[in-house]
Chains A and B, each alone.
Chain A
Amino acid sequence: MDGPAAVGDLLGSRRINQPEKRTGRLVMVSGDRGSVEALVREAVTSPEALERLCDLYVPKIYGYVLKRVGKVEDAEDVTSVVFEKVLLNIETFDEGKASFSTWIYRIALNCITDFYRSRGRKKEDAIDDVAFHAKASTGDGLERLDLQMFVIELVRQLPIKYQEAVTLRYFGDMRVLEVAETLGISETAASKRILRGLDQMKRMAAGGPLEDML
C-alpha cells in the first residue's frame, strides 16, 4: 500500500479486527456496575445524575491528578478539564468497549499529558501542595509524610510510560488487567511497565532516605 490511507475510506471494504474481549471486567468504583452505567446515561440530561457521578469520581480523579502534577491549583484545573471532557464526550462512551472507570482515567491521562505539554515539564517542580493538603495516613506524623512525599516525587521522575502504568496501579488502585485496558496495551506489556517502573524507582532511591526500606 503506498502512503498513508484514511482509515475511514477502508472501513467498508476491509475486515476490521475488534479489540480482544478479555474475561474479567473492571472492578466498580463503588456500588454496582449497573448503577454507574445508568448514571452515565442520565448525566447528559439530569443535573442530579451528573452531580452524583461527580461525587463518585471527583475524589479519585482529583487525588490521582494531584499526585501526578503536584500543585493544588493545577490539579483543580486539570480535574475540571477532565470532567468537562467527560461531559462533552459522554455520548460517545461505549460501555461495551470499556468500563466508565477505564474511560475516565484515560481522559485524565490525556489531560495530564496536555498539561505537561502546555506548561513544559520541569523536574524541579515542587509538590509541596500535596503535602500541605494531605493528611499523613499512618503513624509517625511529619517524618512519615516526608517519606510518602519522597515516593511520590520519585514516581514523577519516571519516564511517562512507566509513570502512567505505576500510578494507575497504585494511585488509581487498578489491577494489572485494568491498567492494560486503560492504556490500551496487553496485560503482559502493562506488567512489564509496572515492574520496570518499580525497578527504576528502586535504583533512583538508592542512597537516599528510603535506603533502609528497600
Chain B
Amino acid sequence: MEKGRIFVPRRSPGRLNKRTGRTSEDFDAVHPMAKLLKEAAALETEMGLEAREQMMERLLYQQKRLMRRRAASARVDRGWSPAWKAAALSGVAVVIVTLLVVVLVLSVGGHKPVTVRQFAKVQGVEGDVLVRDQSGSWRHAREGEALAAGSGIKTGAGSFVSLVFPEGSILRVTDDSEASVKAIGAGSVAVEHLSGSTYHRVHKGSDYVVSKEDISLHALGTAFNVDSRQPENLEIVTVESDVNVAIGEHHPIKVCEGEVMRVDMTGEKKAEKQAVSRERLEEDRLKNSVTRDAQAGYDTGIYEQVDVPLQPAQSAPGPETTSPKPPELAIELLGAAAETGVELSWKVSGSGVYASLVLLRSESKAPEYPGDRIAEYIDKSISRAKDDSVVEGATYQYRLVAADEDDQAVAYGNTLVVSVPKANSKPDQASVSLVVVAPSPPKTVDLEWSVAGASSFDGFVVERTVEKAPAKSATPVGTTTFNQLESSSILYSYQDSDVARGHTYGYRVGLMVNGTAMVYSESVSVEVP
C-alpha cells in the first residue's frame, strides 16, 4: 500500500485545550458571530396551519398503509402447524408422482406436450400506433388485437397505447416511443424498452422484467416509468413499491417508491439515485400514465404520498376499452444541443385553429404558460428556431403551446429536455479523497475525506488493516476491521481511538450506495510509534 502524507493541523483561533486536544464549547462567549447567531436563532417561525394539517393528513394515511402492510406480512410469516405441514407435503408428493406418470404415458404414447401460447392485448390506441408482428413488418395497430412474444410496438408524436398482459400487468407506451415484447409466460413477462418513455404497471406476484441493453429492471408488483429521451441517459422513476435495477454484472440496486435512478449509458454506465422531485412527478407524460392507473383503480403510490394532483380524466373511467378522440392539434417538438445553442424544430398537425405558437423554456420545472414564454411565432410557416441564450452545463425544458387570438392556450405539445454540454467536459467519476491526521503523540487517528462526482449515497465504510505489528500483538498483521457510517454529507471525518503503539495501520474509505461500497479512496498508512 502507498504511504500517505500525514497532515498536522494548524492551531485554530478558538480555544484549544492543549492537554486533551479538544475545543471547548465556550467559544460562544468569545466569538462575536456566536452572539449574533443566537439572536437570529430566536426568530420565531411557525408552520402554517393549513400546511401542518395537510402534512398530518398525509402522515396518518401513510401510517394506515404501513399498518396494513405489517398485517399482511404477519399473515404471510405465520407458520403452519405440523399437521398441516405433513398434509401439504403429502399432497405435493402425490401431485408430483401424478405428473410424472402423465408425462411418461404421453411420452410412451408418442404425444407431444402442449404449450399454451400467451398473448398481450392492445388497448387504448390513440393516434399513430404501429405494431410489428411475427412477419417483421410494421402496420397500424388495431384495438383489441393480440400480440405474441417477439412483437414490437411504437407510437408517433402525441400518440399512446397500452398492452395488457394475460397475468394482469400493463405496459403503457407513451408518445414517440418504442418497446418490444420478448416473452409472455404464465405469470411472467419480459419486455424491452427501446426508446422514449414506457410506463409499467406490474401485477402483484408477476415476474416482470424490463431490459435495455445490459440493464434489467425486475419488479414484483409495482408501477414505474422508464425514460430514455435524454440522450445517453436512462431514467427510472418508481411510482409505487420497489424495483430492482441490475446494471451489467453488478448486484441489483433497489429503487424505492418515490425515487429516481438515472443511468449514464456511456462507458461504464454509472448510476445515481435520489428522491424524485415534485417537478418530475408533475411532468405531463408521466402524469398521463399515472392518471390512467388511477382511473383503472390502481394505487398511485408517491403521487398520493406527496399529494400531486392528477390530470382530469381524458377517457372514460374503468377498464381501458374505449379510445378517446384524437387531439385537434398535435404539436411535436424536436431538438438537440448544437455548438452555439439549442436547435429546435417542430411539426403541427390536425384541424384545430390557433393564432400563434408560443415557445416556453424553463430549467428546474416543467415549462408553464405564459410565464415561461421566450418566443412567439405568428408566421405558421416557421418550423425551426435556435436558442442561443443557453448556458453550458445547464439542462432546459422546452414546450410549444398553440394560442388563440386572446392568448388562451388551445393545445400543448410535448416537453423536450435538452442538456447543453460543457466545452471539453468529461463525465465526473465518483472518487473519495482521504486525508489522515495523526496528532502527536498519536493516541488517536483522525480521518477526513471528501467526495467528488457522486450526488447521492447513503454512507461510508472505514476500512482499517494492520500492516505492521509487534510479535504477539492482539491485532496481528492482516487484521482488518470495518466501521460503517451513515451520512450523505459531502465532507466527513472519523476518529479511530483504538490504535496501539508499535503498529502501522492502512486506512481507506469506501462510498456506500445501497449497502454496497461502490468506490474506495486510496489507502493511507499511519505509523503509531
Binding site for B on A (CB under 8 A): 1, 4-8, 10-11, 14-17, 19-20, 43-45, 47, 50-51, 54, 58-59, 62-63, 66-67, 72, 75-77, 79-81, 83-84, 87-88, 106, 109-110, 113-114, 117-120, 130, 133-138, 144-145, 147-149, 151-152, 155, 160-161, 164, 166, 169-171, 173, 175-176, 183-189, 191-192, 194-196, 198-199, 201-202, 205, 210, 213-214
Contacts and interface: CB of A to CB of B under 8 A. Distances in A.
Q: B-side binding surface: helix, strand, loop or mixed? A: mixed
Contacts of A119: 277, 364
A1 to B, nearest CB: 7
* Size category of the binding interface on chain B: 35 or more
B322 interface: no
Nearest to A201: B33
Contact of B47 (A1, A58, A191): A58
Given A80-B58, A151-B36, A214-B33, A186 B493 contact: yes
Interface of B: 9, 12-14, 21-25, 27, 31-48, 51-52, 54-56, 58-60, 62-63, 66-67, 251, 274-275, 277-279, 305-306, 363-364, 446, 448, 455-456, 461, 463, 465, 479-495, 497-498, 510, 512, 515-520
A142 B520 CA distance: 52
B22 A66 contact: no
Contacts, number: 238
A205 B33 contact: yes
A154 to B, nearest CB: 8
Contacts of B275: 81, 114, 118
A4 B63 contact: no
Contact of A134 (B22, B24, B44, B465): B44
A172 B519 CA distance: 33
A50 B495 contact: no
A200 to B, nearest CB: 9
Contact of A87 (B44, B52, B63, B251): B63
6 contacts: A4-B516, A7-B461, A8-B516, A14-B480, A62-B45, A80-B51
Nearest to B42: A137
Q: A-side binding surface: helix, strand, loop or mixed? A: helix
Contacts of B446: 186, 188-189
A173 B35 CA distance: 13
Contact of B41 (A10, A81, A109, A170): A170
A20 B497 contact: yes
Nearest to B37: A170
A192 B59 contact: no
B510 to A, nearest CB: 6
A213 B455 contact: no
Contacts of B463: 1
Contacts of A87: 59, 62-63, 66
Given A7-B484, A120-B363, A120-B364, A170 B34 contact: yes
Contact of B12 (A19, A183, A195, A214): A195
